Structure 1
Amino acid sequence: MISWHYKRRCHSTFDNQPLLEEAAKQEMWMNPKDAEKRGIKDGDRVHVYNDRGSLLIPVKATARIIPGVVAIPQGAWYSPNHEGVDKRGSVNVLTSGRPTPLAKANPQLTNLVEVKKA
């Protein structure tokens, strides 16, 4: 999983604006080949998880991302359900708080995850 700065907000600022959600949804990009293998269609809600946490998010099936990689934009507000699963798509629940070894940078840009249809 990779993550990027999204055009609709500055980090998490403005994530609570419905008009911006209309313009650019909080959704995970996934290659159609990977989606098909998992029985996932464009617009389906998926469960993304690893040993650090889990979240729910809609999928945008697009060839604009290579097979084997998914992408979730950073900055979504953490919104857990009663089981502690984030239902907004906050990438931080899947990342480590430890800095990267060489650059001492934020590790949220590359993480191993699994995806299944919710």
Structure 2
Amino acid sequence: MPVKQESKTAAHQQLIEHSRLPVITRTEQTAPQRQWCGTTLWAVIVPIPLKLPVCESYDKAAFYGKDIDGVESPLLYSSQKIDSDFYACGPFMFLAPLMHSYQGNALCGSFR
């Protein structure tokens, strides 16, 4: 599943130290990229691994107003990425090496 990460810049820390509320004036976000996410469907007692295109990855920057030189200060950087690989085990995993991103054996492996 996707994991969101957020980091505050030095400009953000300075505003907090001076008891100012950081106000975001503009945000920039890269074009979202769709990535494959994994889930497991349990049919009776046999797990069937599925991959569904439901996750997006992106990078985003939030900016504070312009300074004396007319340059905006970045306050926050955030990103959303897929944290881990898709792991699967099952009776038909011997077919998985047909996919170029598979690493593993005939019973269990991961897709990158």
TM-score by length of 2: 0.19
Structure in which a larger fraction of residues adopt strand: 2
Larger Rg: 2
